[in-house]
């Protein structure tokens, strides 16, 4: 099987990315019982480990012309001159690349989360937080594995976008452990959950639905981990320290909102980049999607106490301030329920297969086939 780098349509992509870091590794000699909520989250993280090769039904396939079977209207290009000039083959190729680009960004973000979680294990001062972050490291490795396997079904993959790379670079270079939390656990993973949800609920392809549903089940816990830790830590900051984090948060949210323009994708296909991006950004669906991306972030930001006039003004300008009143625990509960629904589907499918083989044997079909 080819490496994904060989599937990049963009030339001269480096085989690796190195980020210099300068931070202290902290050992906790207390070895106390830890915070009740954190240890509960740690136990849940252990209990809910799963195997990407076994839990997901990889016998399912992607559709040739619309891999994840997502309505074209959700791409924001329907009824535009560019779309109108394309024949069916060209539209199918665009769908494949656009969906592969989206899945690639999910995978790239998961590797970033893997590395950030490992950094948190080293940096965070409390042992109970180290315990939970260690379960997240395993979660993120599994997510990279799942998306990598899914991407091979597309036959094309894309490198990390510049906006995401910029934010990850900041999260890794900053020597303060809470900034890694804020960038990864709140902003990147909060936005990722909204994007995963979009695929889980709009795709008609069961393989794509499963991968995103199972990843979301884990990611909901990761965001809850960031919320719990920062909610306890941020009240102790000085006003100057709070101002610095809020400024970073506003900039990060704008960065992440703009990461879905996919300019490099259109350029690789020889399409008019500016015309397409302008059409996308003007489409009703894209406007709604860019707004819904913040559904998971805004209530967490308010809950951890970074809720100054500056933050509220920025979210008001983005049109997402109304998400502040969302009950995040209900969203997380729904994520677990959806994952369980797919578990039940796979269980029934396996049971039906066993019963069909048994019935074939009872009727003499197996002997006849031999």
The per-residue pLDDT for 302 is 96
- State pLDDT tens for residues 330-368: 999 999 999 999 999 999 988 888 888 888 777 766 554
- State pLDDT tens for residues 106-115: 999 999 999 9
What is the enclosing helix (H) or strand (E) of 366? Answer: helix 365-369
The per-residue pLDDT for 344 is 95
The per-residue pLDDT for 364 is 67
Taking CA atoms, 67 is separated from 72, 137, 224, 310, in Å, by 12, 29, 32, 42
Residue scoring higher pLDDT (335 or 77):
335
The per-residue pLDDT for 152 is 94
Residue scoring higher pLDDT (117 or 278):
117
- State pLDDT tens for residues 238-253: 999 999 999 999 999 8
Decide: 228 and 41 in contact? Cβ < 8 Å: yes
Residue 190 reports pLDDT greater than 70 = yes
> How does DSSP classify residue 38?
H
Both structure tokens of 170? 């900041």
Residue with tokens 């816990």: 221
pTM to 2 decimals? 0.92
Residue 370 reports pLDDT greater than 70 = no
**According to the CATH classification, is domain 4-11+34-330 in 3.50.50.60?**
no
**CA angle (357, 359, 363) in 5-degree steps:** 120
- Looking at every residue in the chain, the average pLDDT score rounds to 92
| First and final C-alpha spacing in the chain | 33
Give the SS3 label for residue 10: coil
Residue with tokens 């980049």: 273
Query: Per-domain residue ranges for the chain?
Result: 4-11+34-330
The per-residue pLDDT for 279 is 87
The per-residue pLDDT for 255 is 80
**pLDDT over 70 for what percent of the chain?**
98
- State pLDDT tens for residues 22-64: 999 999 999 999 999 999 999 999 999 999 999 999 999 999 9
- State pLDDT tens for residues 131-149: 999 999 999 999 999 999 9
- State pLDDT tens for residues 67-76: 999 999 887 7
**Closest C-alpha among 165, 122, 136 to residue 45:** 136
Residue 158 reports pLDDT greater than 70 = yes
Residue 337 contacts by C-beta under 8 Å, 6 or more apart in sequence? Answer: none
Distance between CA atoms of 211 and 219, rounded to whole angstroms? 12
The per-residue pLDDT for 365 is 60
- State pLDDT tens for residues 245-277: 999 999 998 888 777 788 999 999 999 999 998
Taking CA atoms, 62 is separated from 74, 116, 152, 244, in Å, by 18, 31, 11, 45
Write down the H helix ranges in 155-305. Answer: 162-173, 177-180, 189-202, 206-233, 239-257, 263-268, 273-282, 284-292, 297-303
């Amino acid at each position: 099987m080819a490496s994904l780098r060989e599937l990049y349509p963009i030339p001269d992509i480096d085989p690796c990315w190195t980020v210099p870091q300068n931070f202290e590794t902290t050992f906790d000699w207390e070895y106390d019982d830890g915070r009740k909520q954190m240890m509960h989250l740690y136990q849940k993280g252990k209990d809910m480990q799963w195997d990407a090769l076994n839990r997901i039904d990889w016998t399912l396939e992607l559709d040739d012309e619309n891999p994840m079977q997502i309505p074209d209207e959700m791409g924001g290009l329907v009824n535009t001159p560019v779309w109108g000039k394309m024949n069916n083959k060209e539209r199918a190729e665009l769908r494949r690349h656009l969906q592969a680009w989206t899945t690639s960004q999910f995978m790239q973000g998961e590797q970033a989360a893997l590395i950030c979680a490992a950094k948190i294990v080293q940096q965070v001062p409390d042992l109970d937080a180290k315990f939970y972050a260690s379960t997240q490291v395993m979660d993120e490795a599994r997510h990279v594995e799942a998306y990598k396997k899914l991407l091979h079904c597309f036959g094309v993959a894309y490198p990390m976008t510049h906006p995401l790379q910029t934010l990850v670079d900041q999260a890794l270079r900053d020597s303060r452990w809470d900034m890694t939390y804020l960038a990864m656990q709140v902003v990147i993973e909060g936005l990722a959950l909204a994007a995963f949800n979009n695929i889980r609920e709009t795709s008609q392809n069961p393989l794509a639905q499963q991968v995103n549903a199972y990843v979301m089940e884990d990611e909901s816990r990761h965001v809850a981990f960031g919320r719990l830790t920062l909610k306890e830590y941020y009240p102790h900051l000085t006003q100057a320290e709070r101002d610095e984090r809020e400024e970073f948060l506003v900039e990060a949210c704008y960065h992440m909102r703009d990461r879905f323009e996919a300019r490099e994708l259109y350029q690789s296909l020889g399409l008019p980049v500016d015309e397409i991006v302008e059409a996308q950004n003007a489409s009703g669906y894209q406007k709604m999607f860019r707004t819904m991306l913040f559904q998971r972030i805004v209530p967490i930001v308010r809950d951890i106490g970074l809720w100054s006039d500056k933050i509220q003004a920025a979210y008001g300008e983005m049109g997402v301030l109304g998400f502040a009143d969302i009950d995040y625990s209900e969203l997380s509960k729904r994520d677990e329920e959806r994952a369980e629904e797919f578990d039940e589907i796979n269980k029934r499918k396996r049971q039906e297969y066993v019963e069909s083989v048994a019935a074939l044997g009872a009727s003499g079909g197996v002997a006849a086939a031999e």
